[in-house]
Amino acid sequence: MSFEVKFEADSNDVTEHPHGGKLRPYLCTVCDKRFTQKGTLQRHRQIHTRGKLYSCTHCEKRFKAQYYLNEHMNVHTSKYKCTECGKCFCNNHKLTEHRRSHSGVNPFECTVCSKRFSQSGHLVRHSRIIHSGEKPYKCHECGKMFSDLGYLNSHMRVHSGDKPHKCSLCNKSFSQSSSLQKHKRCVHSNRRPYDCRYCGKLFKSSIELKCHVRTHTGAKLYSCRHCSERFTWREKLKSHLLKSHNEGTWFTCHICEKKFTLSGSLKRHVRRHEDVKPYVCCECSKCFFTAGELRQHAVKHSDVKLFCCGLCAKVFKCKRSVPVHFKRCFIKLGFSVA
C-alpha cells in the first residue's frame, strides 16, 4: 500500500478508555482501534505500514510480522488440533472457537434480532452490517468506508492490483483466497452435495443453499435504518438506500451512461460493450461473459444433475423434468391429482 501512515506519540496513544469491561489505553491513530497492551498495538501497526515480508516454508502463506508467522507454524506442527475433525489451528483461542461448531454452542446473542453467534467478533460484525450500518474503517486512497477491517484489507488490493491467489487449473488470479475457493468449486468442480427441501435443486455450498431457501421462505434479514422496509437480499437494500434515501454511490457506465447500484453489475455490463468473455469452457473452449453462463453451459458436458425430486430423490439435469416426474410419484403413492 502506497499511502503514508502517521502515528501519534506514545504519550498521546495512552488514553483511559474502558471497552468491554477491559481498559484499552493504546490507540491506533489510523483506524482508531484500541488495545490492552502496547506490544499488541505495535504488531497491529504493521498492518498499516508494512507488506507481507515473512513467508511460510511449508505453504504459500505470507505474513506482515514474524509473530504471526511463528503463530501460523503451529498449524503445521499440529500443536492445536481438533480431536473431532483433525483440523489444526494457530493458537488455543482459535481452537476453542472452532470446537463450538461441533458442540453447537453459540453464547453471543444479538439484542436486535436474537440471532446467536459462536464468536464475539461475528456478533460485532453482524451488528454493523445488518443493523447499525456503522463503517469505522476508511480507505486512505479513495476515502471509501467499510464496516469490517477484512473488507478494507481486501479493498486495498483494488488500488495495489495485488492478486496473490492463483488457480492451479486455469491460472486465473484472485485478490482473496475465498474468491479462489469459490471459483474452484463453481467452475472446476461438479460436486453438489446440498439440496433444497422445497424444490430439490442442488447446490455446491451451504451458503448458496441458504440464499436460495430465502426465495421459498421469504425471510427478510436486511432492514433499512431510515424506514420500516425490509429486504431478502443485501443488494436489494443497497438499491433501496440509493433510490429512496440517496445514500451510497451510483456506478455509471462510461459508454452508455447506464447506472448501477453494484460495482459488480457494472463490470458485467461493460464486458458486453467490450465483447470481453473471460470465462472459458475447459471442454470445448467456448467463452462466456459471466460465470453463471459458463456453469449452465458446463452441464452439457457432464453427467451433473442439478434438480431433485422431493419424493423419490431422483435427480435431473433439466428443471422442467421435475414437475412431471413429481406428479407421477404423487399418483403412485395413491394421491389424486386435480
Distance in angstroms (rounded) separating the CA atoms of residues 30 and 148? 14
The number of residues making up the chain comes to 338
pLDDT at 256: 92
Q: Is the pLDDT of residue 228 over 80?
A: yes
Beta bridge partners of 35: 26
Per DSSP, helices labelled H in 169-320 are 177-183, 206-217, 234-245, 263-274, 291-298
Q: For the segment 190-199, what is each residue's pLDDT rounded down to a tens digit?
A: 667 778 888 7
Q: Is the pTM of this model over 0.85?
A: no
Q: For the segment 115-126, what is each residue's pLDDT rounded down to a tens digit?
A: 888 888 888 888
Residues 210, 215, 218, 220, CA torsion sign: positive
pLDDT at 6: 38
For 206-224, what is the mean pLDDT?
Answer: 81
Q: Is the pLDDT of residue 286 over 80?
A: yes
Beta bridge partners of 138: 145
SS3 content of the chain, % helix, strand, coil (to 5): 40, 15, 45
44: left (phi over 0), alpha (psi -120 to 50) or beta: alpha
Q: For the segment 229-259, what is each residue's pLDDT rounded down to a tens digit?
A: 888 878 888 888 888 888 888 889 999 989 8
Mean pLDDT (the chain, rounded): 76
Say which range, 161-170, 274-283, 319-328, has the weakest mean pLDDT: 319-328
- Nearest Cα neighbor of 26 from 47, 7, 48, 6 is 7
Burial class (CB in 10 A: 0-12, 13-18, 19+), 114: exposed
Q: Which residue segments constitute the domains of the chain, with CATH numbers given?
A: 250-299 (3.30.160.60)
Per the structure block, which three cell numbers stand in for 149?
477491517
What percent of the chain shows pLDDT beyond 90?
A: 1
